[in-house]
Structure 1
Amino acid sequence: MLNVVPNLIVLCRIASVVNWLWSKVGLSRREKLSKMDSVVRAVIEAIHSSPTRAVLCLSGGASQALGWLLSVPRASSTVLEATFMYSRASMVQLLGKVPTQSVCRETADEIALEAYNRALELSMPGMQVAGIGFTGVLASIPPKRGDHRCFVSARTQNGLWQYDLTLAKGHRDRYGEDYLTSCLLVKTLANVCGTIDDIPLDLKEGIEKLRETKLVYSEEEQLQQLLSGKICMINFSDRVNSPTSGTRRVVLSGSFNPLHDGHVKLLDAACSLREGGLPCYELSAINADKPPLGLTDIKERSNQFRSGNTLVVTNQPYFFKKAELFPDSTFVVGADTALRLLDPKYYGNSKVRMVEVMLGIRKLGCDFLVAGRKVDEAFKVLADVEVPTEVEGMFQEIPLSLFQSDLSSTQLRAQARQQG
């Protein structure tokens, strides 16, 4: 009994020393994380100051990165949307297929491509956008049998950044691995934005090594990806648009073969009816009634647009699909196009189906401005178009006092052939 008290005193002293040591270790770690957090914050502030906006799709890690991005002011200047895919079904739905392997380079690239297309749909024409894809397998319970690793991809219009990292298994806990991969994700986004990326990754020397690759796509490769359906649109614009929230796009779709003064005046007139609207020309590489445009055709037609114009090349010939690419937009059409839009024969001779499609376009926030146009030698205006009562509010006439032109691309091509 007499020996118990001294033993307890010794044990208490040992415990005190251990606690003191742990407090020093913990303090050192907290100081390190605090220092790292200040670096991360500085990089994120630079990211938010850049013109690039992004959609992030993450699976299996880097979860802290989103919290960091959103906790720094002006996050809406960067983040268009973020998705965490923590179920297999979520990834399958995003990719539209079952991936060959959930955590691999190919899947990360595919996720980034889907994110990029989504960013195009959510952004304004002319904006710089990126799609960020992350897939990883990190420490968990029960322990993973294979390597702990991650793959990050960042897709832009003209490039693909790739980062591969295999982690030292057992060197960090789950929080530590997620912290490291979150730093890597922010570093990737900083590179895409062209800002500072001074985030130290604190890799285990001699064991962990980050592999970095960048692919650059030529204009021809971009067009081939568009025609194959890999990407939904290409922005041909030499300016970066930074419209305010709620800005409405005013979209003039056409073949522009050739672009003429009538097109320019028509879009100007339409924009005068949508004050503050962003003017945008849209060229579809795929036509409902004609063969797809070739690479040479697209290049020649895109080269017609003067500096400062916003031109978007898409692969969607139908307006209900264009509305998905350009929600909250006003489409500028001629009376001839309005007649086709509202003709049941293009909907399996079903007026009900035609109205359903038009209501679907309206749900996406889209409407139409209609200009007078010569149709079968007769000049037609909106009043000559039979508009169903269910969708009357979707169509507004462009007054003849604002725009009236007899210029025709077909006539101009004929004249050019005669002169040639």
Structure 2
Amino acid sequence: MSVPGASNTVLESVVTYSRMSMIQLLGKVPAQAASSQTAEEMALLAYNRALKLSKPGSPVLGVGFTGALASARPKRGDHRFHLSTRTSNRLWSSTVTLTKGLRTREQEDGVSSQYLIKAIANASKVPGTFVPDLTESEVPDEYERQFDEDEELEQLLTGTICFKMYPFSSDTSDAQRKIILSGSFNPLHDGHIKLLEIATSICGGGYPCFELSAVNADKPPLAISQIKDRVKQFEKVGKTVIVSNQPYFYKKAELFPGSAFVIGADTVARLVHPKYYGDDYGKMLEILLGCKNTGCTFLVGGRNVNGTFKVLEDFDIPAELKDMFVPIPVDKFRVDISSTEIRKSKGLLLHIRHHSLHHIRRHNYRCFDKSSSTDFLSPKMSFSYQVRKGVDGF
């Protein structure tokens, strides 16, 4: 951290030196504090934390380090350290057992720090210019696992990772704030794209991205094949999409702090209605104030609600929350079509085609049919690391 410009790459450092610090970080009492499993768990936590803290689309790295080095009192066990790195598609871990009595504590610190820097460089695909000062007998015990896209999405569905970003956009903006339009996008249509563009202009800039939740509040989670099919829609139009596992906005706010969420009036109708919080107005207020405290705002576009076109002003927003909601003027954006209506129209078209073919076959007509499908859509490496050194087991 003494090197100028470190803030361009280091997102956060957490030193879990006490027992309670480690327990709070992991959310449990570890079976053994100084172990490869603990280092891997720390690296995964650091990776997920880095995803939340980094600029949109930046590659991130999480690092976990724990060990038992020389201390004031002689140790009965080995002097060793465990290190793990985690990126989107790779998990790597290593255990190094040092020769007992060969080095002072300061020297063991130096060797383990060298090895840590070397591991960070390797995970960042930066060629290392030095070799850690290990003896021939101090051979690292290494493990590596690569993940393909399906495995990453499976980890998303199980909650192992918090989200996966597909940065298809050519936008090179350095904006930290995300402008997010969430939805199922089944299918993605021009209205979605236009709405996000208008919302970004109202915000005065930001990083526009779509967010697809693979987990639904009242439906089964999407299959991996479904997720990939929907993601392809965004690749075709060059728009960034984030796949998350959070169906609720208060959880999305925790996942993407400081973001502006673009929603329709139909969503506002549910967000500020106590019915969706067990008819508990106080609970509703507490949850939404929690969203506000993350720095998130909601940009609200007009939408048909039960057959009537509604805008933000049609809803009774609690005074404490009014400044969290920003209207999108109707004269700037209004599209009445929805993905549901598009699916229904496609279903009707399919029914008509099947009926026509049946009629043609029944009357033995000879014809030539040429149909066409409709397209509804006409380095800097960041990392976060956790460190634990010089502590025996608990």
Q: Could you tell me which residue of structure 2 aligns to residue 270 of structure 1?
A: 199
Question: What are the residue-to-residue correspondences of 1:6-405 with 2, within 5 Å?
Answer: 70-205=1-136, 207-238=137-168, 244=174, 247-306=176-235, 308-405=238-335
Measure the CA separation in 2 of the matches of 1:138 and 1:72: 26
Q: CA separation of 1:192/1:142 partners in 2, compared to 1, >3 Å: closer, same or farther?
A: same
Helix, strand or coil at the partner of 1:250: strand
Q: CA separation of 1:265/1:233 partners in 2, compared to 1, >3 Å: closer, same or farther?
A: same
Measure the CA separation in 2 of the matches of 1:221 and 1:100: 27
Helix, strand or coil at the partner of 2:118: helix
Measure the CA separation in 2 of the matches of 1:176 and 1:239: 47
Helix, strand or coil at the partner of 1:290: coil
Q: Could you tell me which residue of structure 1 aligns to residue 367 of structure 2?
A: none
Question: Quick one: higher RCO (CA 8 Å, sep 6+), 1 or 2?
Answer: 2
Helix, strand or coil at the partner of 2:233: coil
Measure the CA separation in 2 of the matches of 1:185 and 1:276: 38
Measure the CA separation in 2 of the matches of 1:83 and 1:365: 23
Measure the CA separation in 1 of the matches of 2:349 and 2:238: 30
Amino acid paired to 1:255: S
Measure the CA separation in 2 of the matches of 1:247 and 1:112: 24
Helix, strand or coil at the partner of 1:305: helix
> 1:126·1:241 contact (CA, 8 Å) conserved in 2?
no
Q: CA RMSD in A?
A: 1.5
**Superposition misfits of 4+ residues, deviation over 3 angstroms:** 238-244
Measure the CA separation in 2 of the matches of 1:359 and 1:314: 22
How far off is 1:247 after superposition? 2.9
Measure the CA separation in 2 of the matches of 1:260 and 1:359: 32
Q: CA separation of 1:147/1:279 partners in 2, compared to 1, >3 Å: closer, same or farther?
A: same
Q: CA separation of 1:137/1:238 partners in 2, compared to 1, >3 Å: closer, same or farther?
A: farther
Measure the CA separation in 2 of the matches of 1:130 and 1:242: 21
| Post-superposition CA distance 1:188-207 (Å, at most 9, x none) | 111121112122211112x1
How far off is 1:242 after superposition? 6.9
| Post-superposition CA distance 1:256-276 (Å, at most 9, x none) | 111111100000000001122
How far off is 1:240 after superposition? 8.8
| Post-superposition CA distance 1:113-139 (Å, at most 9, x none) | 111111112123312111100011101
How far off is 1:419 after superposition? 2.9
How far off is 1:243 after superposition? 5.2
> Normalized per residue, which structure has more helix?
1
Amino acid paired to 2:127: I
How far off is 1:286 after superposition? 1.0
Helix, strand or coil at the partner of 1:182: helix
Q: Could you tell me which residue of structure 2 aligns to residue 25 of structure 1?
A: none
Measure the CA separation in 1 of the matches of 2:17 and 2:130: 26
Q: Could you tell me which residue of structure 2 aligns to residue 66 of structure 1?
A: none
Q: CA separation of 1:325/1:75 partners in 2, compared to 1, >3 Å: closer, same or farther?
A: same
The TM-score, its normalising length taken from structure 2, stands at: 0.86
> 1:126·1:240 contact (CA, 8 Å) conserved in 2?
no
Unpaired runs of 5+ residues, structure 1, are: 1-69
How far off is 1:239 after superposition? 6.2
Amino acid paired to 2:79: H
Measure the CA separation in 2 of the matches of 1:152 and 1:229: 23
> 1:256·1:301 contact (CA, 8 Å) conserved in 2?
yes
Measure the CA separation in 1 of the matches of 2:139 and 2:128: 17
Amino acid paired to 1:214: E
Tell which structure's C-alpha radius of gyration is larger.
1
| Post-superposition CA distance 1:148-185 (Å, at most 9, x none) | 11111111111112222111111110010011111111
The TM-score, its normalising length taken from structure 1, stands at: 0.80
Amino acid paired to 1:317: P
Aligned-pair identity (%): 52
Amino acid paired to 1:224: E
Helix, strand or coil at the partner of 2:30: coil
